[in-house]
Amino acid sequence: MSAVSSLSAPAEVSPDFSTFIENFRARLRHVFRRRADADEVSTTRGLEPFMMREVQRSSPLSVFIPEEYGGRGGHVRKCQAVLEAASYESLSLSLTLGINGALFLQPVSKYGREAVKQDIFDRFIEEKHMGGLMITEPDYGTDALNMQTSYAQRKDGRYTVSGTKHWAGLTGWADFWLVTARQEREGGSLGRDIDFFILDQDDPEQCVDVEERFHNLGLYAIPYGRNRVDATVPETHKLEPESMGITMMLDTLHRSRTEFPGMGMGFLRRIMDEAMAHCKDRLVGNTPLFERDQVKKRLSRIQAYFTTCSAMCAYASEHASTDNNLSTSTVSSNSVKAVVTDVMHDAAQSFLQLSGAQGYRLDHLAGRATVDSRPFQIFEGSNDVLYEQISQAVLKDMKKSNENNLYDYLSEYELTSRAAERFQGSLDFEVDDQMPQRKLVDLGRAIGRVVSMDLVIELGDRGFREDLISGSLKVLKQDAEAILDTYQQKGMAGVVEDYMEDSSWLSFV
Ligand SMILES: Cc1cc2nc3c(=O)[nH]c(=O)nc-3n(C[C@H](O)[C@H](O)[C@H](O)COP(=O)(O)OP(=O)(O)OC[C@H]3O[C@@H](n4cnc5c(N)ncnc54)[C@H](O)[C@@H]3O)c2cc1C
């Protein structure tokens, strides 16, 4: 740990949001750049105790808590702004806040019982407690609906919940867990629906046991591991779905996916600032890197991603409220999550390329950004699967409306109508609803980019900088067209399973 700065962080937590967020940014800057040694922060696991304590002095999680329980009201615009401020300094910190907010506080606000909410929210605000969500199991990740964690209601009304969960962010740190499980039926089989239970780690009967800690590749500040759950909880700890538990899970996951841009926003802004500064500073052959055309291409893409993410933050602010049911918002939520995480990782890769060898140091922001952003393409729905789901949802709707031509459909569809107009022939083809999975994924990647363009057009209409908007639209359109080009190509490479025979080049020279 390096020297402690003489500059003090602002202490007050202002009720006025603009003052609060400004102070929060200053506090984060102070904690991550002055008090902590940036090199140490990026290469050691966990966070120094003073760091989380300092961050929590601003009570950032109160933005996710409704006003009637003492929070800042749960307005998504404010939640996005907090996530953005955090990810400018640390993607891990932003994900930590995002887990607490979107995967614990929002579902508890919406589906938690009155009997438990006030106490839980008080503990978040006053005692700075934290919470996370356990869905994934060692044998059931993408296939989460077949999870084996089970629950049963006892005669006294309490529930027993048991199973093994892994990769839950904040393993061993969280004070509360939301644990998903299927009901055990007579004879031992499990029901199809999924329910959520709140486990309070201060209660020995509800405590989960950390069996193993993982050495995660990136996101060093967040602990992961494998947990054994054998808990007994009061009836009031079961979330109350409006209809099916699966619908509640989809609503929760779609809301969280829609809110990913908050975490992407500060991350992309930081990469943009650092990459621009580096390219202006670094002379190669006596010329600043910034003067080279290929470098400009990379920087312009990073700016395009920044603008796309801005448009998504604006969209999330107006669509991801807990008042809305997002369980059917497959196309918009999956597009936002998959595209923003793709561009976050691509921006990090470009920043690393532009940084040269120094970017490959473990303590350099570019290398860290590359490994830290990678799992965003995997968790909360693997992007390959999310893109396939986008296509399936669109194809289903096309079939319902008796439409075969993609352009005709997208030019009428509310999420794509304005963007579709900007494509000449490339969307104008009939889709085959029997296409192989890889084509569904390609089509979904293209549709995700058309949806993103529509959000950018909307942000432009509201007065966002015109040059950034037009750069972003160019990049998204080029990417969508390149993907559609691949989609149209015939001939699919197969996998040769038994490839050993006649496959050593050395025998042919
Ligand atoms: C950093 C990190 C944080 C996480 N945080 C949490 C958390 O807080 N809470 C939680 O519950 N879980 C969390 N997870 C777990 C995460 O959600 C799962 O890893 C994810 O759902 C994928 O499950 P899996 O790892 O079992 O992979 P698998 O299900 O084995 O899938 C692996 C890959 O196979 C491919 N694939 C899978 N199914 C299909 C298919 N049908 N068609 C085509 N391809 C397919 C995809 O490429 C996929 O990425 C986290 C994971 C990571 C890495």
Which mean pLDDT values do the consecutive 10-residue runs of the chain (509 residues) have? 45 87 97 82 84 96 98 98 98 98 98 98 98 98 98 98 98 98 96 98 98 97 98 98 98 98 98 98 97 98 99 98 98 99 98 98 95 98 98 98 97 98 95 95 98 98 98 98 97 96 98
CB 92 within 8 A of CB 222: yes
Distance CA 453, CA 418 (A): 8
Residue 8: the pLDDT is 52
Assess whether the C-beta atom of 28 lies below 6 angstroms from ligand 1.
no
Distance CA 457, CA 469 (A): 7
454 Cα to the center of ligand 1, angstroms? 29
Residue 343: the pLDDT is 98
Assess whether the C-beta atom of 63 lies below 6 angstroms from ligand 1.
no
- Ligand 1: atom nearest CA of 441 is 43
For the 17-127 domain, the top CATH level (class) is mainly alpha
Assess whether the C-beta atom of 133 lies below 6 angstroms from ligand 1.
yes
Distance CA 155, CA 173 (A): 32
Residue 49: the pLDDT is 87
In a mutational test of the pocket of ligand 1, which residue from 97, 103, 135, 136 has the highest number of ligand atoms less than 8 Å from its CB? 136
138 Cα to the center of ligand 1, angstroms? 10
Closest Cα to residue 332, out of 399, 247, 254, 420? Answer: 254
383 Cα to the center of ligand 1, angstroms? 9
**Going by CA atoms, what residue is nearest to atom 33 of ligand 1?**
382
In the DSSP assignment, the letter for residue 282 is -
Geometric angle at alpha carbon 386, from 162 and 367, rounded to 5°: 90
Tokens of 138: 């060692």
76 Cα to the center of ligand 1, angstroms? 26
**Going by CA atoms, what residue is nearest to atom 40 of ligand 1?**
385
- Ligand 1: atom nearest CA of 382 is 49
141 Cα to the center of ligand 1, angstroms? 5
CB 107 within 8 A of CB 239: yes
Q: Render the burial of 218-228: b for 16+ CB within 10 Å, e for the rest.
A: bbbbbbbbbbe
Superfamily of domain 247-488: Butyryl-CoA Dehydrogenase, subunit A, domain 3 (1.20.140.10)
Q: Alpha-carbon Rg of the chain, whole angstroms? A: 24
Geometric angle at alpha carbon 490, from 488 and 495, rounded to 5°: 120
Distance CA 107, CA 100 (A): 10
**Going by CA atoms, what residue is nearest to atom 37 of ligand 1?**
142
Please report, for the chain, the start and end positions of each structural domain, with discontinuous segments joined by +.
17-127, 132-242, 247-488
Domain 132-242 has CATH 2.40.110.10: yes
Residue 34: the pLDDT is 87
Residue 13: the pLDDT is 85
Distance CA 124, CA 131 (A): 9
In a mutational test of the pocket of ligand 1, which residue from 91, 142, 226 has the highest number of ligand atoms less than 8 Å from its CB? 142
In the DSSP assignment, the letter for residue 431 is P
Q: Who contacts 225 (Cβ-Cβ below 8 Å, separation ≥6)?
A: 166, 171, 172, 210, 211, 212, 213, 214
Residue 3: the pLDDT is 40
Paired strand residues for 226: 166, 212
Assess whether the C-beta atom of 135 lies below 6 angstroms from ligand 1.
yes
